[in-house]
Amino acid sequence: MPVQDRYAELSRMVRERDKEMTRIFDTLRRSSALLCLMMMRRNELVTEEELQSFSPELQRATEIP
């Protein structure tokens, strides 16, 4: 794959990841906390150890199928 194509692909991946991080962290409020925590968990931004500080119900609610 030519260097230009690799750069274009890498740039696209960075933009997509940036959008995803924006969706997670730009909506931090009580009404969206569960969804944000689910997205953090899906993106491996929170450890299992950190999740242990939450209630079992919240841990189950944010499990990834």
For 16-56, the pLDDT digits (tens) are 999 988 988 887 888 988 999 999 999 999 999 999 999 99
- Please check whether residue 53 lies inside any domain of the structure: yes
Residues 6+ apart with CB under 8 A from 25: 36
Is this structure's pTM higher than 0.75?
Answer: no
| 3 pLDDT tier (thresholds 50, 70, 90) | very high
The residue segments making up the domain with residue 30 are 3-60
- Please check whether residue 48 lies inside any domain of the structure: yes
Residue 27: per-residue pLDDT: 78
Q: How many whole angstroms separate alpha carbon 19 and alpha carbon 54?
A: 27
Residue 18: per-residue pLDDT: 92
Domain count, the chain: 1
Q: How many whole angstroms separate alpha carbon 10 and alpha carbon 4?
A: 10
- Please check whether residue 65 lies inside any domain of the structure: no
Q: Does pLDDT of 65 surpass 90?
A: no
User: Is the distance from CB of 24 to CB of 40 less than 8 angstroms?
Assistant: yes
Residue 28: per-residue pLDDT: 82
